[in-house]
Chains A and B, each alone.
Chain A
């Protein structure tokens, strides 16, 4: 059933509604699937569709509640805007919000209040328009003990346990984890696009997790065994010059130290500004998708193979 989580009137003949689809059968546990915090990240849309469709088609396999929040930032999704239009605010920096606050904070507080109490929440992101990511779960070290075992069911390739940062305390995931609602952040694909292979991979993983939690009794696939790594194993490659990045390596490929990853070129002059080589052996799990780069722009991240 489609329910309204919160509703706020906009100035001219329109209301902003945050909607969820609650699919419920039996007394089992509750999973919340959340996406669309950033209006330019669409990979989660296909996952929401696939999960809702499959659960509806096999309701007899459900024992519990599946809550799908497909658009936490509907104005952003509609206007191809990453933040909240009209405020130029990153919605994932205003949680847990405030019921007495301005419209954005009020909406954020209502969202947190509604998801609170879920046995698990999956917060699906899609990088941004600049970078392509393999399906991965990102977990703060403070919550790793609880979340890494759950993330293992999500059928992702990689679990990145990263250092805590004060600035990330304003995210939805941090806010929910702080109130005993285990929340896993998934990053996959690229902004403004759908990668069907990835959405199917994560959908399969969500059903694996639901089965583990006793919410789903239908058939599931065997989840992939993800690589679990910490910050120390991730190598960042940033542009050393401004220009157009032309990749010579495919996303997800294994590379050796010194392998040729691509060039930053100056099309006007016809010269290569920077030839980019791999700093280590490993897997290219992040690769620049948007060709225009400034000095400093992230080109790739490589998960280093030890030894």
Chain B
């Protein structure tokens, strides 16, 4: 493993801001894995650290095919992580809305440009991503429908689901979108939580990336006990959105991954002062809970669950 500083920015009073890259193997730029892009993506950082641990072992055992190299970037926003903030400390901008970046532009545009310059030529790009609403996903791979997406390759992760998303205007400035525009095969891996660590989902996500690297001929062996699940491909628009009709405290009965039936009570919304039930959230379909929000306080119209229709 070779450790290097990909990008550095001097600060007035803090230690220099650094993006660190860890490289395994030598040769063709075969795969790049990016962990936390935001300061609260602790699960994504931890997942990367466990991937690095596995790759160190595999490299020592000679399991990286010759002529192939893998770059892992565990965190792109250490400054925000160290002060427990999601976005850039001074101006609250999101690095993942700045790609492909601009080296003469504003600070986060420069950071995005510095990172992208180092990773844009990799054949495959994987980002451990998070969602803006606090909540937990069933681990899955997400790809954007840009015309360059490769659904069959996404199956190689062996995660239960691949979600295909139609890009919205703001997506055009994300890492995943720009990787695809630069002709990399780009995948976002959602490893369950964001600012808390779920070890089970970390193991799934790490194994998924190792399986992918193996099937792409980058690793001789994934080092994993099994090759994962038979993947179901779904469009994001096909996920059934279940909203809270009223605001209050949510008492949720079903975690992500639960099979639910149409008409089943998924949660109830309680009056925050009296504890009485204001409303029930009923499953509109048979399916599997794909996403569950985890904030105990909910707004009216909040998206509480997303269900994969069966």
What residues make up the interface of A, taking CB atoms closer than 8 Å to B? 8-13, 82-83, 86-89, 93, 100-103, 106, 128, 130, 166-170, 236, 238, 241-244, 266, 268, 292, 294-298
A104 to chain B, nearest CB (A): 9
How many Å lie between the Cα of A15 and that of B93 in the bound state? 29
How many Å lie between the Cα of A13 and that of B299 in the bound state? 11
Are A241 and B10 within 8 A (Cβ)?
Answer: yes
B115 to chain A, nearest CB (A): 14
The reply on B62 being an interface residue by CB < 8 A is: no
Contacts A238-B105, A244-B12, A296-B109 known; A11 to B303 CB distance under 8 Å? no
- Residue of B at shortest CB range from A294? B107
B204 to chain A, nearest CB (A): 27
Pick the residue among A13, A238, A241 that contacts B273 (CB under 8 A): A13
Of the candidates A103, A169, A241, the one having the most CB atoms from chain B within 10 angstroms of its own CB is A103
Pick the residue among A82, A87, A238 that contacts B104 (CB under 8 A): A238
Are A11 and B173 within 8 A (Cβ)?
Answer: no
Chain A residues, CB < 8 A from B301: 8, 101-103, 106
Contacts A82-B92, A93-B170, A101-B301 known; A294 to B11 CB distance under 8 Å? yes
How many Å lie between the Cα of A10 and that of B104 in the bound state? 43
A279 to chain B, nearest CB (A): 12
The reply on B300 being an interface residue by CB < 8 A is: yes
* 0/1 interface trace, chain B 293-310, chain A, CB 8 Å (1 if under): 000011111110000000
A111 to chain B, nearest CB (A): 14
Are B107 and A88 within 8 A (Cβ)?
Answer: no
The reply on B247 being an interface residue by CB < 8 A is: yes
- Residue of A at shortest CB range from B89? A294
The reply on B168 being an interface residue by CB < 8 A is: yes
Pick the residue among A9, A106, A266, A298 that contacts B12 (CB under 8 A): A266
Pick the residue among B10, B169, B298, B303 that contacts A166 (CB under 8 A): B169
Are B297 and A296 within 8 A (Cβ)?
Answer: no
How many Å lie between the Cα of A106 and that of B299 in the bound state? 12
- Residue of A at shortest CB range from B269? A11
Pick the residue among B105, B110, B272 that contacts A12 (CB under 8 A): B272
Are B10 and A88 within 8 A (Cβ)?
Answer: no
Are A103 and B300 within 8 A (Cβ)?
Answer: yes
Task: Give how many A-B residue pairs fall within 8 Å (CB-CB).
Answer: 101
A-B contact pairs, 18 of them (CB 8 A): A9-B247, A11-B299, A12-B272, A13-B272, A93-B170, A102-B299, A102-B302, A130-B91, A167-B172, A170-B170, A236-B104, A241-B10, A242-B11, A292-B90, A294-B11, A295-B10, A295-B107, A296-B108
* 0/1 interface trace, chain B 158-201, chain A, CB 8 Å (1 if under): 00000000001110110000000000000000000000000000
- 5 extra A-B contacts, CB within 8 A, seeds A170-B168, A242-B10, A268-B12: A87-B132, A103-B300, A166-B169, A167-B172, A169-B169
Chain A residues, CB < 8 A from B300: 8-10, 103
The reply on B221 being an interface residue by CB < 8 A is: no
How many Å lie between the Cα of A9 and that of B300 in the bound state? 6
Chain B residues, CB < 8 A from A268: 12-13
Which of chain B's residues 77-116 have a Cβ closer than 8 Å to chain A?
A: 86-87, 90-92, 97, 104-110
Chain A residues, CB < 8 A from B90: 292, 294, 297
Contacts A9-B247, A13-B272, A102-B301 known; A296 to B12 CB distance under 8 Å? no
Are B86 and A296 within 8 A (Cβ)?
Answer: no
Chain B residues, CB < 8 A from A88: 86-87, 132
* 0/1 interface trace, chain B 122-139, chain A, CB 8 Å (1 if under): 000000000011000000
Are A243 and B12 within 8 A (Cβ)?
Answer: yes
A132 to chain B, nearest CB (A): 15
Chain B residues, CB < 8 A from A169: 169
How many Å lie between the Cα of A87 and that of B131 in the bound state? 11
- Residue of B at shortest CB range from A168? B169
Are A11 and B169 within 8 A (Cβ)?
Answer: no
Contacts A10-B247, A82-B92, A241-B10 known; A296 to B105 CB distance under 8 Å? yes
